[in-house]
Amino acid sequence: MTFFDPAVSDVERAACAVAGAYLLVTFSDGQFEKTEEVQLRRGLAEKAGFTGIDADRLDAIFIEVQQAFTADYDKAAERTLDLIRVVQTHKDAHKAIIESAQTAVIADKMVTPQEENALNCIAVALGLEAGDV
């Protein structure tokens, strides 16, 4: 997993955090919603701080993080929150993490208690108050 691979660039690490935030919320209620996934991936490639990453590399990062959540949700969630804490000062990552988490909630048009808990964990990892995402 590239989450803490020292060979991964700061931008790639931030992209992992953004993908992880989306998947943390999406997988939290046990239902993976693919509705917004393509839009999220395309949108990330167009964001100012992530334009230096090849689209294929962004896809590979997303797939890798998705596989981690599929294999072991709790471990992937913990690593994602740790990574969010690490990259929260990346100028574009902070906003993109919030947007990706919100996109995951919008995908199924309702907020489950599990999703609300995931959003609160993301907020705290970003240095915000629970409920601010």
pLDDT at residue 77, as a whole number:
95
The pTM of the full predicted model, rounded to 2 decimals, is 0.85
Q: Considering the domain boundaries, does residue 89 fall inside one?
A: yes
Domain span at 32? 10-125
C-alpha–C-alpha distance, residues 70 and 120, integer Å? 21
User: What are the residues whose beta carbons fall under 8 Å from the beta carbon of 5, sequence distance 6 or more?
Assistant: none
CA gap 52, 101 in Å, rounded = 22
pLDDT tens-digit readout, 42-64: 666 666 566 667 778 888 888 88
Residue 130 lies in a domain: no
Q: Average pLDDT for residues 6-11, to the nearest whole number?
A: 75
Question: Does 2 fall in a domain?
Answer: no
E strand intervals along 2-131: none
Q: Is residue 131 part of a domain?
A: no
- Whether 32 is in a domain gets the answer yes
At 73, the pLDDT band (50, 70, 90 cuts) reads: very high
Domain count for the chain, please give it.
1
State the chain's mean pLDDT as an integer.
82
Residue 1 counted as domain residue: no
